[in-house]
Amino acid sequence: MNDKNSTATTSLDWTGSLPSRPAGGASPAAHPTMPAPHVHFPSAASSAAPSATTRATSEADTSAGQAQLSVTGIKKSYRKGPHEVRVLDGVDLEVYPGEFLAIVGQSGSGKSTLLHLLGTLDRPDAGEVYLGDERIDNISARQRDRLRNDYFGMIFQFYHLLPELTALENVLAPMMIRLSTLGYWTNARRLKRKARALLESVGLGHRIKHKPRELSGGEMQRAAIARALIAKPQVLLADEPTGNLDQETGAEIMHILRTLNREQGLTIIMVTHDAKIACQADRVVQLVSGRVEQVGSG
Amino acid sequence: MYKFLLCLRYLRTRYIALACIISVTLGVATMIVVNSVMSGFGHEMEERMQSMISDLVLESRGHAGFPGAEWHMDAIREVLGDDVVGMTPTVHVPALLDMQVGEQTITREIVLIGIDPKTSPSVSKLSEYMIHPENRDRLSFELREDGFGDRLPRSGWSHRRQRARRNKELAAIYGQQPAADAPEGAAAADEAAPAAAEVADVEAGPVDAGPVDAGWDAPPPADVAAGPLDDWGQEPQPEVFDPERQQNPGVVLGIALSSFRTPDGDERFLNVPGDDVKIAFWLTGMSQRTAVSSDFTIVDFSESKMSEYDARFVFVDIHELQRMRGMIDPTTGVANVSAIQMKLREGVDPNEARQKLQAYFPPQRYAASTWRDKQLPLLEAINMEMIILNILLFMIIAVAGFGILAIFSMIVVEKTKDIGVLKSLGASSGGVMSIFLGYGLSLGLVGSGGGMILGLLFVDNIDLVRRAVEYISGREVFDPTIYYFQEIPTLVEPLTVTWIVCGAMSIAVIASILPAMRAARLQPVEALRYE
């Protein structure tokens, strides 16, 4: 398959070790018109390079190029006591580079689960998750750890900042995880400057030394966004980012996300139950009884 | 990097973990203190034992000893060569000591040891334990005028003269027979048969220089068998023994024999140098068991601070003892001795030397033993005690380990969400595990480090602590009359301290393995799902 050589989908050097998706059955479909996101995330840009792909794109979005992230036939169920609860029952979804996708649904409809599966925090019972061409649901724990660190940024409804660390240290955490102690020390100054700049860009320049408990909800979410961005992710996964905030603060957070998406071409997948928030996205999918029921545009 | 940062932050913010730290700290401190005191105790005791007992001793199995100390010493020199640097003959005999205090006679079981003041210093540090400073330099069995120091202000010849004069005056007043040399109340004592009389079917009285008998009833004539004594007994003693000017053969008592402490801690003496005592001991060379009782004048006390020695050992001049016990062959003039004490050259293995001696001297007649052999039960007991104490104390730290386990498990539960976040940020399971292992290690480090400092400070100021405890509790914690030492001895062995600290740290790490593994296994989704 020469397409693999030409696209490699990615400039993600680490994907070299990922198992390649089976080539059979995929019809080559070129999307030469796929818009290259105007980003300074270089790998994201390269992944958008016009190419032939082994993936068949969904009918829902034929205008876009190759999916950056996609799931096919995802099933996931949880055991609750003796009962098995099927949360996802064959979900197919594709996310394109530079897209701002909102996943809506009622509580318990499986939106968060889907997001976790996309972010490799969990494994599906059945179905496959692809990052570009590479299947990522069955890779080793080590590769998933690296993927989460390198490729995805995540923000949560409850911010999930580490309470022992200051805002700056929280933002630096992904870099501390990525680099060895020595590597971190040698780069500490540069990284700190960058973290500070990120905090300033989300309007938290005055709260750098504060611990999470000294911050308001909105400030914590901003810090969480800065943390998600420091590792230069290609995809931002946001789990109800405004769910715990008042309307005004939520609007500010959404503004930040939209700006990131628009100005930096960051792919954002956001889970929300709030239709008003969801409609600010480029595209909205709804999860009903474990399936992608309705697809609309924001 | 995040591991160190989080370890550090957890250490600083989780005060519950301080509970584990404190238990580790106390455990380590206790172990260090106990070990230091125990080894100080053991070390000091060994030192003292060894200073009183010589390195190696060749002794007769029989009661009568062996003749010819010189010949034996030559033989030993031949066997051991340069390894032996000093030798002295001794005579040992179990004896009873009678002290006249007021109107009562106090009897003590003792070991009467005849030593050679000339050669003894080459073998043991005995003379260093004398009270009188001049005796420390050169041991003499002649009573000194005075100068026994602050502890014994009224001792020596001055005391003896004063006492004799008073006795004379008392005798004049009451018109009793002259209680010449006896301490106060001796007049009454002369009625009471000396305790030794029970065993003495033959009193050595008559040969024992008449004047000595001034205080007691004249015994029947001696058995002829007390032959060698005749030499002594026949010495012309024309004048009556005058305690104001004369002394009996000198004797050095272990200080605990004639001193005691009041509950307030004051030292009191039953007798002082210058007073007379009676000692009853076996004669040798008898077909029949025969004991004699003889008067001696205390010339000094020895204080080794080993109460086992201080309460049992009484020293006299070996020649005097040989003569009294009839150990000198009247025809050849060769004297018997009980043992030859030896000092070995530094670095010589006493066991090896002992074996050489055992091979040379027939074991049926001679026993060679090192000072360690002599004190083996005691040394073994100390050793055993130390091992058991260490095991028990280490269990305390192990208990602290379970505390760490419990509290760590709680912290892992509490930190479930954070663990999920770390994993969502790309932290590996190993990374999460090492956070908690590192946390355990740093707890152990802080705990045992603190314990080490606390323990060493405690040991360093142990006397202060003792006094504080005594002040608070109102009772004596360390009674020098019970223990061997005036002060609590301590000896810090760096190796032991290292072992204790390392042991405590490894327990802390081992205890954190289980919670750390649990944290590492946590699925990020499970950690994040419920909020």
Of B5, B417, B420, the CB nearest to A176: B5
Contact between A284 and A274 (Cβ < 8 Å): no
Count CB-CB contacts under 10 A for residue B176: 13
Q: Give B-chain residues touching A161 at CB under 8 angstroms.
A: 421
Flag the least confident range among A52-66, A270-284, B465-479.
A52-66
Q: Is B11 on the interface with A (CB under 8 A)?
A: no
Q: What was the pLDDT predicted at B501?
A: 92
Q: What was the pLDDT predicted at B516?
A: 92
Q: Per-residue pLDDT for B52 more than 80?
A: no
Which two three-digit tokens encode residue B352?
């090896």
Q: Per-residue pLDDT for A119 more than 90?
A: no
Secondary structure letter of residue B515 according to DSSP: H
What is the band of B455 on the pLDDT scale with cuts at 50, 70, 90? very high
Q: Give A-chain residues touching B9 at CB under 8 angstroms.
A: 164-165
Q: How many CB pairs under 8 A join A and B?
A: 81
3-class secondary-structure state, position B113: strand
Contacts of B394 (CB under 8 A, 6+ apart): B27, B31, B503
Percent of chain B with pLDDT over 70: 85
Give contacts of A 7-46 with B, CB under 8 A.
Answer: none
Return the amino acid letter for B525. V
Q: Give A-chain residues touching B419 at CB under 8 angstroms.
A: none
* Length in residues, chain B: 531
A212–chain B nearest CA distance, Å: 13
Cα–Cα dist B389/A42, whole Å: 67
Cα–Cα dist B170/B185, whole Å: 10
Cα–Cα dist B245/B181, whole Å: 10
DSSP sequence for B299-312: EEEE--S-HHHHTT
Cα–Cα dist A50/A136, whole Å: 22
Q: Is the ipTM of this complex over 0.85?
A: no
Question: Cβ–Cβ of B426/A145 closer than 8 Å?
Answer: yes
A162–chain B nearest CA distance, Å: 6
Q: Is the pTM of this model over 0.90?
A: no
Degrees to nearest 5, angle at CA B339 with B336 and B340: 110
Of B418, B429, B524, the CB nearest to A121: B524
Cα–Cα dist B492/B35, whole Å: 8
Distances (CA, A) of B453 to B364, B447, B460, B504: 55, 10, 10, 14
Q: Give A-chain residues touching B431 at CB under 8 angstroms.
A: 177
Mutate to test the interface with A, among B4, B419, B421, B425 (most CBs of A within 10 A): B425
Instruction: Summarize pLDDT for B335-362 with one digit per residue, the tens.
Output: 888 899 888 888 888 888 888 888 888 8
Q: What was the pLDDT predicted at B371?
A: 81
Instruction: Summarize pLDDT for B417-452 with one digit per residue, the tens.
Output: 888 888 888 888 888 899 889 888 888 898 899 999
Q: Which residue of B has its CA nearest to A185?
A: B1
Q: Per-residue pLDDT for B498 more than 90?
A: yes
What is the band of B8 on the pLDDT scale with cuts at 50, 70, 90? confident
In whole angstroms, what separates CA B388 from the centre of its chain?
Answer: 21
Of B2, B10, B528, the CB nearest to A173: B2
In whole angstroms, what separates CA A131 from the centre of its chain?
Answer: 11
Question: Cβ–Cβ of A141/B428 closer than 8 Å?
Answer: yes
Among the listed residues B119, B80, B89, B105, the one whose alpha carbon sits nearest the alpha carbon of residue B350: B80
Instruction: Round to the nearest angstrom and report the end-to-end CA distance of chain A.
Output: 37
Contacts of B498 (CB under 8 A, 6+ apart): none
Q: Is A243 on the interface with B (CB under 8 A)?
A: no
Of B6, B426, B529, the CB nearest to A149: B426
Of A142, A173, A179, the CB nearest to B425: A173
Cα–Cα dist B127/B134, whole Å: 10
Backbone angles phi, psi at B489, to 5 degrees: -80, 140
Among the listed residues B378, B287, B459, B319, the one whose alpha carbon sits nearest the alpha carbon of residue B53: B378
Secondary structure letter of residue A22 according to DSSP: P
Kindly state the average pLDDT of the residues B247-253.
90
Contact between B219 and B203 (Cβ < 8 Å): yes
Specify burial of residue A139 (Cβ count, 10 A radius: 0-12, 13-18, 19+): buried
* Length in residues, chain A: 298
Q: Which residue of B has its CA nearest to A144?
A: B426
Q: What was the pLDDT predicted at B176?
A: 59
**Helix count and strand count (H, E) for chain A:** 9, 10
Q: Is B421 on the interface with A (CB under 8 A)?
A: yes
Among the listed residues B519, B438, B497, B498, the one whose alpha carbon sits nearest the alpha carbon of residue B7: B438
Q: What was the pLDDT predicted at B386?
A: 86
Instruction: Summarize pLDDT for B54-79 with one digit per residue, the tens.
Output: 888 898 888 778 888 888 888 888 88
Identify the residue whose tokens are 């924001």: A298
Identify the residue whose tokens are 């539960």: B413
Instruction: Summarize pLDDT for A155-171 with one digit per residue, the tens.
Output: 888 888 888 889 989 99
Cα–Cα dist B150/A65, whole Å: 107
Q: Is A233 on the interface with B (CB under 8 A)?
A: no
What is the band of B177 on the pLDDT scale with cuts at 50, 70, 90? low
Instruction: Summarize pLDDT for A9-57 with one digit per residue, the tens.
Output: 333 333 333 444 444 433 333 333 333 333 333 333 334 333 333 344 3
Question: Cβ–Cβ of A181/B4 closer than 8 Å?
Answer: yes
- Give percent helix, percent strand, percent coil of chain A, each to the nearest 5: 40, 25, 40
Instruction: Summarize pLDDT for B24-39 with one digit per residue, the tens.
Output: 899 899 999 989 988 8
Question: Cβ–Cβ of B528/A121 closer than 8 Å?
Answer: yes
Secondary structure letter of residue A64 according to DSSP: S
Question: Cβ–Cβ of A122/B525 closer than 8 Å?
Answer: yes
Identify the residue whose tokens are 């223990």: B483
Instruction: Summarize pLDDT for A234-291 with one digit per residue, the tens.
Output: 899 998 888 888 888 888 889 888 988 888 889 999 998 888 888 888 889 888 888 8
Question: Cβ–Cβ of A146/B420 closer than 8 Å?
Answer: no
Q: Are strands B104-115 and B84-101 parallel, antiparallel or unpaired?
A: antiparallel
Question: Cβ–Cβ of A184/B1 closer than 8 Å?
Answer: yes
Q: Is B9 on the interface with A (CB under 8 A)?
A: yes
Contacts of B105 (CB under 8 A, 6+ apart): B98, B99, B189, B192, B194, B195
Q: What was the pLDDT predicted at A58?
A: 40
Degrees to nearest 5, angle at CA B370 with B366 and B375: 110
Mutate to test the interface with B, among A155, A177, A191 (most CBs of B within 10 A): A177
Cα–Cα dist B497/B491, whole Å: 11
Cα–Cα dist A195/B376, whole Å: 71
Among the listed residues B204, B192, B251, B254, the one whose alpha carbon sits nearest the alpha carbon of residue B230: B204
Mutate to test the interface with A, among B414, B424, B433 (most CBs of A within 10 A): B424
Delimit the domains of chain B by residue range. Answer: 2-48+377-528, 62-167+244-364
Contacts of B260 (CB under 8 A, 6+ apart): B267, B268, B270, B481
Q: What was the pLDDT predicted at B449?
A: 93
Distances (CA, A) of A84 to A73, A87, A107, B166, B245: 19, 9, 17, 111, 114
Question: Cβ–Cβ of B1/A176 closer than 8 Å?
Answer: yes
Question: Cβ–Cβ of A148/B4 closer than 8 Å?
Answer: no
Among the listed residues A145, A77, A181, the one whose alpha carbon sits nearest the alpha carbon of residue B6: A181
Q: Per-residue pLDDT for B185 more than 50?
A: no
Secondary structure letter of residue A280 according to DSSP: T
Kindly state the average pLDDT of the residues B212-219.
41
Question: Cβ–Cβ of A112/B424 closer than 8 Å?
Answer: no
